[in-house]
Structure 1
């Protein structure tokens, strides 16, 4: 057998990295999105921080604020050059996200502030109706990953 024909072209081997799945808009679906995304990043040999936190926040927002009964949300991750792009699409295009300062005693409302702090860039793309996609991009070089903030003393 001809060796050149049986092997995939070298220029494509290992360069195409994308991952996508549909999940139920529930806390379990959001948790599964984070766990599966983290596992995929490990398989790709990429740093999990801060991508796992970003996936967790965007998936939780889709399950909480983008939930429509009977409609799933979609997680898509892909690498272009040295950038990981994370996209979460839900079916509540009428509810566009915006980061806001939550009260100091609020139990929620800080997710997009976290995404804003951890991502190199992020945004929202409307449509097609009734959908919207919230996306974030982070570098894939482990040396450039932002450090974790230390936990405050208890």
Structure 2
């Protein structure tokens, strides 16, 4: 079982960010959801928690389903006062996310459609070392009201 550990690092607007590395397995999504709920609670942003944990579940499930990476990194940050960003980094940069269309009888293929519907915006960034692309981060952002 994965233990919840939070690490604090500086974010661009001075808010703390949380991150943790998990095994790239569907079962670790529960620990990821706990990390997201914890971060949102600290920031007093519980009103977006349900959408945030749904995004977390979908991003982690997509990484587990579509990559062969042994681990993934979950990032929860505040790139701006009125935004929360949830990202999942994996070491399969050639497997880019595609917003597809699932048929009515398909049992999967709706994760990014769901994220697209509830997130303010989403996308991916490639991580480089020099000219070498070594990872990608698939992320989604939610607009939030500033905490009291």
Give the shorter-chain TM-score range. 0.7 to 0.9
Larger radius of gyration: 1
**CA shift for structure 1 position 115:** 0.6
Q: Give the strand-richer structure, 1 or 2.
A: 2
1:72 maps to which residue? 71
Alignment partner of 1:49: what SS?
A: helix
Q: Give structure 1 regions of 4+ aligned residues with deviation exceeding 6 angstroms.
A: none
What is residue 152 of structure 1 aligned with on the other side? none
1:47-70 C-alpha deviation (Å, 9 max, x unpaired): 2031111111111111111232xx
Equivalence map 1:120-135=2 (5 Å)? 120-128=120-128, 129-135=133-139
TM-score normalised to the size of structure 2?
A: 0.78
- Write out per-residue CA displacement over residues 35-82 of structure 1, whole angstroms, 9 at most, x where no aligned residue: 2212321232112031111111111111111232xx310111111211
In structure 2, list runs of 5 or more residues that go unmatched: 1-13
Using structure 1 for the length normalisation, give the TM-score: 0.75
Root-mean-square deviation (CA, aligned residues, Å) is 1.6
Number of residue equivalences: 126
Segments of 5+ residues of structure 1 without an aligned counterpart are 1-14, 143-154
